[in-house]
Chain A
């Protein structure tokens, strides 16, 4: 054993991975630049004055004013209604649109290409921005919120659903084609049975996101409970803001739970 020792090779030096090094440099440079641009030094946050302010607000929020709950109740209902309507409208449009951009259903690449381009652009616009735009268009109120949520839902569902359509088993489509079925019949008999549960699951998922989004849409005037979020914050009534936040969080968590439980039951 000892005799053999000198014949074993020495550990070769670890090769320096240039790509890792470059990524690290990019990351660090990015950090310095963004700290510089945003002026977000951690010292700014931790300055006793500033941090005290933050904690002050937080502490007040933790002493909710429950007498305020009955005022916001109707707006909470409106918020949920907005979320449901937005989800339904957006999902219906997304359902039809998905078939038009699925390449195993529509073979014309020009049609799918243009429609996908439009979809991708719509998907880039964040929910609150859609809200601000629709408030400008239709005026302050829940209608703006419903429209914003519809467009947003469309973006979420259409992407997931067309990908689900494109990954189905192509066999049944061929079998139906071979027996002389029309396009609609092929979709109905060969495609829908394969994708319907996915669709329902995506709609529920979009609904979860919409409930969250709808609670803040009111902040910019697009209806729902967010209006009171803005009012109480402006009047420094943080205990009331706290009430609203607790109500929102409870509702969101409950709806999340129901929705994800039903999604799990679906995919079983």
Chain B
């Protein structure tokens, strides 16, 4: 084959604008990372760090089995059960509160843009309100214990759940709504006969997903005294009872895996 007649490879055409943007993004990212690394004093790690890590790991492998169940109501199983109940009730409350918020924030046809936008902003604010602060406020109101945890979860979850719901509403096709409206149905008729039945699978699936997240949240609410497994954990950490830390961690891990699995199975059935 005669290759002498072949053309030379032309240089790559350069788009200056995109190249500048890429370089800028790259430089800014690197600067940000360096900036955040220099401020933090990594030398301040306690010298006992390795030893404690070892103690925690050995605690996980030699857990305090006597703590699992002793009938006092202060044992692992009772505390985990309480944690699940907090998550369950909290999720249920938030699912109910979320519905009106979701319709408010959903960006559907025949709706002024500022209505849904304002709803979205309110939800973003609720999401950003830390749940442990909310838990502390409820502790002020109803005293320490799992009730405060339930209310905190119930309100905090609205931020995320209503957002998921509103996305489900937005992705709903509106043909059925129009059918109901065309036979003279009122707004209420439309929602109950067309929107909700179509929406139900998405609502249940999102609520179950939120339940998974809530179980994790409920297990840390105890750190501030809002009930559940978090409280005995923080006590065990403070008193350096590593075997107890170990069994509590194991308990949380098993609980979360089991709940995830169950809700995963149910969600798969729904689809």
A residues bordering B, Cβ < 8 Å?
A: 30-31, 33-35, 37-41, 44-45, 50-51, 53-54, 57-58, 77-78, 80-82, 84-85, 88, 120-121, 124-129, 132-133, 135-139, 141-143, 146, 212, 215-216, 219-220, 226, 229, 233, 241, 245, 248-249, 252-253, 256
Interface residues of B in 137-171 (CB under 8 A from A): 137-138, 140-142, 145-147, 149-151
The CB with the most chain A CB atoms within 10 A, among B46, B146, B227, is that of B46
Contact assessment for A129 and B85 in the assembled complex, using a CB-CB cutoff below 8 Å: no
Contact assessment for A38 and B132 in the assembled complex, using a CB-CB cutoff below 8 Å: no
Contact assessment for B146 and A37 in the assembled complex, using a CB-CB cutoff below 8 Å: yes
Contact assessment for A34 and B36 in the assembled complex, using a CB-CB cutoff below 8 Å: no
A200 to chain B, nearest CB (A): 10
Contact assessment for A37 and B132 in the assembled complex, using a CB-CB cutoff below 8 Å: no
What are 22 pairs between A and B in contact, CB < 8 Å?
A30-B88, A34-B84, A37-B82, A38-B147, A45-B138, A57-B140, A78-B39, A81-B39, A85-B37, A124-B252, A124-B256, A128-B223, A129-B219, A132-B233, A136-B237, A136-B240, A137-B56, A139-B45, A139-B46, A139-B49, A143-B40, A226-B130
List of A residues within 8 angstroms of B35 by Cβ = 81
Interface string of B111-150 (1 = CB under 8 A from A): 0000000000000110111101100111011100111011
Question: 17 extra interchain contacts, Cβ-Cβ under 8 A, other than A120-B257, A125-B249, A136-B240?
Answer: A38-B147, A38-B149, A45-B138, A45-B151, A54-B140, A54-B141, A78-B40, A125-B252, A133-B56, A139-B49, A143-B40, A212-B127, A212-B128, A216-B130, A245-B133, A249-B125, A249-B129
Contact assessment for A253 and B136 in the assembled complex, using a CB-CB cutoff below 8 Å: no
Contact assessment for B33 and A84 in the assembled complex, using a CB-CB cutoff below 8 Å: yes
Ranked 5 nearest A-B pairs via Cβ: A34-B85, A81-B36, A54-B141, A40-B150, A124-B256
Contact assessment for A143 and B147 in the assembled complex, using a CB-CB cutoff below 8 Å: no
**Cβ 8 A contact of A44, one of B52, B86, B147:** B147
Contact assessment for A233 and B133 in the assembled complex, using a CB-CB cutoff below 8 Å: yes
* Given A34-B85, A137-B52, A143-B40, residue A132 in contact with residue B234 (CB < 8 A): yes
List of B residues within 8 angstroms of A121 by Cβ = 253, 257
Contact assessment for B128 and A249 in the assembled complex, using a CB-CB cutoff below 8 Å: yes
List of B residues within 8 angstroms of A81 by Cβ = 35-37, 39-40
A31 to chain B, nearest CB (A): 6
List of A residues within 8 angstroms of B175 by Cβ = none
B77 at interface, CB cutoff 8 A: no
What is the CA–CA distance of A124 and B44 in the complex, to the nearest angstrom?
A: 28
Contact assessment for A233 and B136 in the assembled complex, using a CB-CB cutoff below 8 Å: yes
List of A residues within 8 angstroms of B92 by Cβ = 31
List of A residues within 8 angstroms of B127 by Cβ = 212
B149 to chain A, nearest CB (A): 7
What is the CA–CA distance of A54 and B85 in the complex, to the nearest angstrom?
A: 23
Interface string of B200-243 (1 = CB under 8 A from A): 00000000000000001101100110010010011001001000
Contact assessment for B36 and A37 in the assembled complex, using a CB-CB cutoff below 8 Å: no
What is the CA–CA distance of A62 and B28 in the complex, to the nearest angstrom?
A: 36
B32 at interface, CB cutoff 8 A: yes
Instruction: Name A122's closest neighbour in chain B (CB-CB).
Output: B253
Contact assessment for A38 and B146 in the assembled complex, using a CB-CB cutoff below 8 Å: yes
What is the CA–CA distance of A230 and B37 in the complex, to the nearest angstrom?
A: 25
Instruction: Name A123's closest neighbour in chain B (CB-CB).
Output: B256
B2 at interface, CB cutoff 8 A: no
B199 at interface, CB cutoff 8 A: no
Contact assessment for B124 and A253 in the assembled complex, using a CB-CB cutoff below 8 Å: yes
Instruction: Name B40's closest neighbour in chain A (CB-CB).
Output: A142
* Given A54-B140, A126-B217, residue A143 in contact with residue B42 (CB < 8 A): yes
Interface string of B238-260 (1 = CB under 8 A from A): 00100000000100110011001
List of A residues within 8 angstroms of B53 by Cβ = 137
* Given A30-B88, A37-B81, A253-B125, residue A143 in contact with residue B141 (CB < 8 A): no
